[in-house]
Amino acid sequence: MRRTLLLASLLGPVLAAPLAGADGRPSLPAATIPPPIVVTSTADRTTVAVGERVTVVYSARIPEGATLELESLVSPARPEGQSATAGFVLDFEPVDPLVSEKGKGRTGLVDVRQTVRLAAFVPGETRVPGPVFSYEGPDGTKAVVRPPEVTLTVSSRLPADQEPGQLAPKPERPVRIPSRSPWFWASIAAGILAVAALVLWLVKRRKKKGAAPAESVPPPPPPDVELEAALAALAARAASLDGDARPFYTELTHAAKRFLERHLGQPVLEWTTFETVRRLREGGTEPPREVALPELLTGADRVKFGRAGSTREDAARALENARHLLAWGRVRMAAQAAAEKAAEKAADKPAGKGAGR
């Protein structure tokens, strides 16, 4: 057991070192695997053809109370001499959540597995670098964990004795446009006449009935009232949040951005999170730091697009940030209303003086 732990702690930085700046790309964080973590990489097969799927399972054994999260997948560098337009080396499928289960016996350790499905598209030997995991121990110790790389032997689907440029192209076939019979054109003309007659009949019928009174559509509630009602409905869902939290965070961010769009008169719903924060900051309409609007939007994006987990406490904190946004908006709306009333009074005073004279 001690030999395995020592080997894992020594191999982590060595496996991460060749990837740091090997082809001019930004260097990846070095692996620092503290004991008693043991990390392994297992592939369901190591010999595949171009484009075939491979399932790689990264396993780690960590102490109880520790956390391990997937930060990023790493793609190998392109072969020497290959242009950037030649396609990508690996294609990763969406990643499933981590699977954890307690080890057998009272060892105090937890087995964590991360399954990654990928496909290689460059013939030859392809080394799949281990992804980047962030580790936090029970005592708060943080480290970067990198599993060992997996080597795949990828065979080409082309004939062994031919180069891609030597393959004969498919023969071109002449395009044949069939002739149309007179009945075809007659049927089209009859159809056009029938449609024209139907349109004429509908127009005459509408003129006889007259214009129907337009249904009165009630005006939408004020922006703050609309957001408050949405937060009340989401609060009931947050109390029983379980399973997939993406619908909850989707509705929460939509309600918050719709409030900003109606209150500020800007197309906030069409902006991404980065654009929303940047444009509000440039326009001088960014909420104060206490509102924590960037934390609200980025935290929701991690759940919606990054497949991060979320607890009921996380949902409650997100709702609290949205309530801070509502309070800030109401203060700003009240200040705008007071300024408009003051401007109206100032405009009425000169008119009143002129009438008195």
Is this structure's pTM higher than 0.75? no
Q: Which residues pair with 49 in a beta bridge?
A: 155
HSE (side-chain half, CA atoms, 13 Å) at 229: 7
| pLDDT value, residue 11 | 37
What is the distance between the alpha carbons of residues 199 and 61, in angstroms, rounded to a whole number?
73
Chain CA centroid to CA 147, Å: 25
* Placement of tokens 């369901």 in the chain: 44
Q: Distance between CA 312 and CA 9 in Å, rounded?
A: 36
Tell me which architecture the domain covering 2-155 has in CATH.
Answer: Sandwich (2.60)
- Does 205 have pLDDT greater than 70? yes
Tokens 């497949």, residue located: 307
pLDDT digits (tens, 9 = 90+) for 175-195: 777 788 889 889 999 999 999
**Element (DSSP H or E) covering residue 332:** helix 312-356
Better-predicted residue by pLDDT, 282 or 310: 282
State yes or no: pLDDT of 113 exceeds 80: yes
- How far apart (Å, rounded) are the C-alpha atoms in residues 216 and 120? 60
Count of CB atoms situated within 10 Å of the CB of 215: 5
Q: Check pLDDT > 60 for residue 5.
A: no
pLDDT at 116 over 50: yes
**Residue 214 binned pLDDT confidence (cut-offs 50, 70, 90):** low
- What whole-number distance in Å separates Cα of residue 58 and Cα of residue 92? 15
Picking from 93, 80, 95, the residue whose alpha carbon sits closest to that of residue 51 is 93
d(Cα 102, Cα 61) in Å, to the nearest integer?
A: 9
